[in-house]
Structures are given as C-alpha cells and as structure tokens.
Amino acid sequence: MLTIGQKAPDFTLFNTARKEVSIHDFQGKNLIILFFPMAFTSTCTAELCEMRDNIGVYSGLNAEVVGISVDSPFTLAKFKEDQNLPFDLLSDFNKEVSQAYDTYYETFAMNLKGVSKRSAFVVDKNGLIQYVEVLENAGNVPNFQAIQETLTSLN
C-alpha cells in the first residue's frame, strides 16, 4: 500500500486523444489521480461529474485532475465526450498502473478480472503522495472535502 510522503509511482498512459500522458507532465503542480472501475457506470459518472462541476476549485488550488481506468482509450473518449469532462481520462488497459498504485481488484463484479478500485491520490508538485484513499466498496466515492483540505495545506 502506498503511503503519504512516498514518491508516486511513475506512469505513462494514453489519453482519449491517443497521446501519451506521464506523471512527469504535472511537475510543479499538484495532481489528483482518480482511479475508477468502469466508464458509464452510475457511481463512476457521479464521481467524475463531481470533479467536473468543481474543476474551478481544484484549479484554484493549483491542481490538475486525471482519471484512470482499465477501459480502452476509445471507451474513455466517448465517456469523456458524453459527460463533458475537462480533464484527461487515461487508459490503464494493461493494468500496470493500477497494480503499481495498489488499487486493483483481481476479481470485480460479474466475475470481471483486473479492474481498478475506486481511489484517490493527491501528488504534490515534487511528486510525493500527500493523500491516499483506496475504497474497497466501489459504490462509495472519495472524500472530496479531504482532497480539497489536503490541497489547501499544500498551497
């Protein structure tokens, strides 16, 4: 399990425009990383729309947002378009980043294998983890207030 103060694991994943996005692209900014199980499901939609609706708050706290799931870039592109999400959705189709962040269901609902657990991480501008929340129950959403408080303390 990742802990506060630990260096965030590196990653480079494809976004919905089929461009590579790396954690290094966010150096000098705070980064909120949201892992979510599956695009188009009710809780995932609610979670990411909550971030969309409050993107100004996160921008004001010098934070960027990325969402990561094991969905394909093509599925994520449709989801991003449908929900008008103003941040990158990244495809961890090979499941390597979900495993590196220890946020991975070996078996999920309907016996689906290898799905990201719903989780939130705040990585500071130096690449260190400042907030970790890994939810075992995919029906729950992260504590957005705690994420905002963590970001406030970093500014």
Distant-in-sequence, close-in-space partners of 51: CB < 8 Å, separation ≥ 6: 32, 34, 58, 65, 67, 85, 87, 144
Cα 112 to Cα 16, 48, 61, 104, 106, distances in angstroms: 23, 22, 37, 12, 8
The yes-or-no answer on residue 44 being catalytic is: yes
What ranges in the chain are assigned the alpha helix state H?
42-53, 55-60, 73-83, 96-100, 144-154
- Marked catalytic residue, from 44, 65, 66, 97: 44
HSE of 123, CA atoms in CB hemisphere, 13 A: 25
- Per DSSP bridges, beta strands 20-22 and 129-134 are unpaired
Residues catalogued as catalytic: 44
